[in-house]
Structure 1
Amino acid sequence: MASKSEGGGKDDLNFIKDKFTTREGTYILAHWSEYTKPTRLQTTGSTNTPVRASFINVGGDPSPERICFNIGKELYVYIYKGVKKAADLTKPLDRRVYKATLPTCHDFNTVLVSKDSLRLLVGFSHGQIQVTDPMRKEISGDPLKRELNKFFNEEKLIDKSKVTCIRWIPGQLNHFLVSYASGQLYVYNDELPCGPVPPTYQPFKQGDGYSIHTCKTKSTRNPLYRWVIGQGAINEFAFSPCSRYLAVVSQDGFLRVFHYDSMELVGSMRSYFGGLLCVCWSPDSKFLVCGGEDDLVTVYSFYEKRVVCRGQGHRSWVSVVAFDPYTSVFSSDNSDLRNGTKVQDVQGTVANGNQSNHQKTPAELSQTSLQSSGSCVTTYRFGSVGQDTFMCLWDLTEDVIQQPISTRTRTSILLSNPNSLSATLPRCNNVQKTNSLLSNNDVSIDGNAHPVGNSVMGNSTHHFATLSLGERKEITEKKEHKRNFSLSSKSSEKNNMLKSNHVKHIDESIKVLGTCSCPRLDEVPLLEPIVCEKISSERLTELVFREDCIVTACQEGIVNTWARPGKVKLSQYNEDIMMTPL
């Protein structure tokens, strides 16, 4: 098999690959470890609900891994056997079919877990939330059954829009965070009830582009807090591995980073154009990678509050981005890298999102030797999947991290409407000189104080004048009207909500294109993927990096496992190919 750079032909790009090669070796699609519906029945109509996968390690079991995934109206929990053993689709641990709503996202509680009990959080397309234990479903007479099958917002009194992301809050047993297409975040306690009537809110805190509210009641009830953020749907959020910070990406095109406990905005970034759909933290909490409707992946330095680089490889919207903590390159050089981190700081923070607390560092790297040498991370590996059915792998190297923003003076152009051009702010040429909208705020990741940089916000009704993306210029021009329409169609309703909730608006005349928050394409390095392969016939919706494999999922409802180099024998792969029916 040839990678994109080796193939070079148009037909090669349309061929679905089952293996690909990187510097560490060849990744192989483990056909025997495919998870999907037990029977491949024809579905009655397709849905836009993405297929997601969540993992948990229960410990104390010969097969300790569990996987949860959703397909249409169904939710499955299986024993996950990885790349070594074949998946047994005839024996799901749990299967649920929902009638009037669709599961959209889910998350396992990594604290309250054992081989006999799990706590699974599920969000739905009509706003409902469920906390359930798939392991106890069939235990009759269990006094805890009611407690482990709770519903929140069941009557849709709190929010009627789709749940877009749901997560247990790190370090807390019973609290979880849920985001909605309405552009709001809610904090819940699964031990508290929801009220019988729609909640009345009172202001608690507000800042630039966001406000926080609490319920106006005599007794504590759900939701504990309501966050109103930006001017569009919240598409995803992610807690940093150090658990201190919350990154939120919205349809208005902004990445916003909050200090979770203090509820302060400590950083922001704007997409090149269109909404941001996905976000992920680096294992050391120093970088974030985002993907969205501009078909690009964007790397943001949380330390320096600036866009480090963009990656161009996808041909459609980027659905999921994720860092791979198992293929980082370590150097014994202890020099003060701009964003380097000692491996001791990385270990113990790998587990976040769908990654289990029980996972280890890569087998190729000796943990003892790394700890003794005090190595520094000089290369970050991350991946992305998109609606173009391609998976891309990227390497963020030290030379890219250390490149400053281009010093060429450019005129920033921003369109308020198709017939007018606006004056602009001077772009940020020196990343050391920051202009923070938050006074006297420092962030701390490694115990040291780091100044907060430019945190400029904008308005979703402003649409960037698209610049050439080389060969994709014509495609970009065709898509621009549709994307701009999708953003502005929701802006009026969200603006009214923000005004009613006393959100402080940033002056709409503030322009971010050409600044550290949103540099032009030629002002930051443009990465090319080390791997860019078509791996599915349907748009891709999930990407999870695990110690021995990479897991992907597509809209068709198939969860695939890609064995890392050396984890399976090539003879096993060839034998499986021979037995696969045409």
Structure 2
Amino acid sequence: MYLHLHLHLHLQGIMNDSSVTMLKWVPGSEDRWMASFNDGSILLLDKDRDDQNFVGPSYHEEQGFHASKFHKNSRHNPVSHWRVSDKSITAFAFSPNGMHVATVGYDGILRIIEFKTERLQDVFGGYYGRLQCVAWSPDGKYILTGGQDDLVTIWSFVEKRIIARCQGHRSWVTAVAFDPWRCDDKVYRFGSVGEDCRLLLWDFSFGALHRPKQIKGSSGNGPQSPKETHMSSCAPKFEKMIRSSPMPQNINIREPPPKTTTSLPSLGRAGSLSNGTPFARFRRRSSRGPGTATTIATTAVMNTNVPVTTIGPVTAVRQVSPDEHLVTNPTVHPVLTKTQVSVLQPVCSQKIHADPCVDLHFGKSTVVTSDRRGCVRTWGRP
């Protein structure tokens, strides 16, 4: 608690206009830590560097994700600045090997970022509303998210696809976590808490998944829920948007073989994800049919021409080699409807607090939960 408060006050001298949403140490480092903010940015900081007021480049819809890395010999924080979104970053999580960072936020998007190269790798649209929490499995194969759709979603990092949506909460999901002492190659145990004041436990294995329902035609029986109707109408628009939107300009893309650079046409209209949130201008480069990943190009470049405003000592920006301007295209994955995804039910559901829950932690012999009023409870393992 003291460390969290100290770091929060430490950041107030750097980002005066933004509130901190999450703090975490970089895995394997005793000096560097990362902080996310409600303006959609993430900072990498070094505890041994001096502080200064910092205002990074603003988020531009046509630019998308942008990383600004400063000179390694600079005496001032930040070490690096990521402009991830124009909306608040609610949570982020490092992969177990520390090579990737998963972020979620108010725009309802799960982003996978390569930590070392600071490049956006994958983009997944949530089912409905904001995403509020994210967690990696101990082996790094799976990612959990939860949010305002009352669902816990399982994503396969290896296969780059959604695995299942977990139904059981009666309100927004606020925290998800894997149980490292109950995970093996066959079964993964994880838990979730939400504003319904409940703790849910889940056992995930492919054998436990229900087969997704067949997609009904226009003459299918039974009405769809409002959320399902919303998603069914948005999925075709999402695909159409990828096909029709032109490539952004001022990007050099390496396309082997041969190794050449290509000047791209001017920008077109911006696209939007399933919940109507603008994301970036892009178009389809390759497709393998409905429900498959589509490779796109965005302006996720490390551009030293973007102005960086500082108050105090001048921040030295690292010179970027020409090769670093060559973009590795992120992959935008289509949003699937409820009938296209397997459903998982909880193995345990219990009301544990009188107020909405906000956090969950699995210990070796206990489970720790907390609520919005600051009440912390310890539970024996089931």
* Rounded Cα–Cα distance in structure 2 between residues aligned with 1:201 and 1:313: 41
Deviation sequence 1:227-254 (CA, Å, 0-9, x none): 0113311000000111111110111111
| Alignment partner, residue 320 of structure 2 | none
* Rounded Cα–Cα distance in structure 2 between residues aligned with 1:266 and 1:219: 28
Distance 1:160 1:324, change over 3 A: same
Where do 1:205-216 residues align within 5 Å?
A: 209-214=64-69
Q: Secondary structure at the match of 1:179?
A: strand
| Alignment partner, residue 259 of structure 2 | none
**Letter paired with 1:179:** S
- Conserved? CA contact 1:201–1:214, under 8 Å: no
- Conserved? CA contact 1:201–1:215, under 8 Å: no
Deviation at 1:121, TM superposition (A): 4.1
- Conserved? CA contact 2:102–2:110, under 8 Å: yes
Distance 1:533 1:259, change over 3 A: same
Deviation at 1:171, TM superposition (A): 1.7
For the pair 1:293 / 2:148, whether they are aligned, the reply is yes
Deviation at 1:262, TM superposition (A): 1.3
Distance 1:303 1:400, change over 3 A: farther
Q: Secondary structure at the match of 1:378?
A: coil
Equivalent of residue 535 in structure 1, options 330, 340, 352: 352
Deviation sequence 1:106-157 (CA, Å, 0-9, x none): xxxxxxxxxxxxxx3447xxxx734xxxxxxxxxxxxxxxxxxxx3432xx5
* Rounded Cα–Cα distance in structure 2 between residues aligned with 1:217 and 1:410: 58
Deviation at 1:267, TM superposition (A): 2.1
Where do 1:140-539 residues align within 5 Å?
A: 151-154=10-13, 158-195=15-52, 197-199=53-55, 209-214=64-69, 219-328=74-183, 377-400=185-208, 408=215, 423=237, 425=239, 459=272, 463=275, 505-506=281-282, 517-539=334-356
* Rounded Cα–Cα distance in structure 1 between residues aligned with 2:217 and 2:84: 31
**Letter paired with 1:322:** A
* Rounded Cα–Cα distance in structure 2 between residues aligned with 1:267 and 1:255: 8
**Mean alpha-carbon deviation: is it higher for 219-228 or for 532-541?**
219-228
Deviation at 1:269, TM superposition (A): 1.5
Unmatched tracts of structure 2, length 5 or more: 219-227, 241-252, 257-269, 285-289, 293-332
Distance 1:397 1:129, change over 3 A: same
Deviation sequence 1:349-394 (CA, Å, 0-9, x none): xxxxxxxxxxxxxxxxxxxxxxxxxxxx101111000011011111
Deviation sequence 1:463-490 (CA, Å, 0-9, x none): 37xxxxxxxxxxxxxxxxxxxxxxx7xx
For the pair 1:545 / 2:362, whether they are aligned, the reply is yes
Pairs aligned (count): 301
Q: Secondary structure at the match of 1:538?
A: coil
Deviation at 1:259, TM superposition (A): 1.4
Q: Secondary structure at the match of 1:463?
A: coil
| Alignment partner, residue 448 of structure 1 | none
Distance 1:309 1:293, change over 3 A: same
**Letter paired with 2:380:** A
* Rounded Cα–Cα distance in structure 2 between residues aligned with 1:440 and 1:159: 42
TM-score for both structures, normalised by structure 2: 0.68
Deviation at 1:459, TM superposition (A): 3.1
Deviation at 1:514, TM superposition (A): 6.0
* Rounded Cα–Cα distance in structure 2 between residues aligned with 1:202 and 1:423: 28
Q: Secondary structure at the match of 1:425?
A: helix
* Rounded Cα–Cα distance in structure 2 between residues aligned with 1:167 and 1:392: 25
**Letter paired with 1:222:** N
* Rounded Cα–Cα distance in structure 2 between residues aligned with 1:171 and 1:440: 35
Equivalent of residue 560 in structure 1, options 373, 377, 381: 377
- Conserved? CA contact 1:413–1:421, under 8 Å: no
- Conserved? CA contact 2:88–2:105, under 8 Å: yes
- Conserved? CA contact 1:414–1:422, under 8 Å: no
**Letter paired with 2:366:** C
Distance 1:266 1:423, change over 3 A: closer
**Letter paired with 1:227:** W
**Letter paired with 1:459:** S
Deviation at 1:289, TM superposition (A): 0.6
Deviation at 1:424, TM superposition (A): 5.3
Deviation at 1:323, TM superposition (A): 0.4
* Rounded Cα–Cα distance in structure 2 between residues aligned with 1:253 and 1:247: 13
Deviation at 1:558, TM superposition (A): 1.3
- Conserved? CA contact 1:269–1:300, under 8 Å: no
Deviation at 1:214, TM superposition (A): 3.9
Where do 1:111-150 residues align within 5 Å?
A: 120-122=3-5, 129-130=8-9
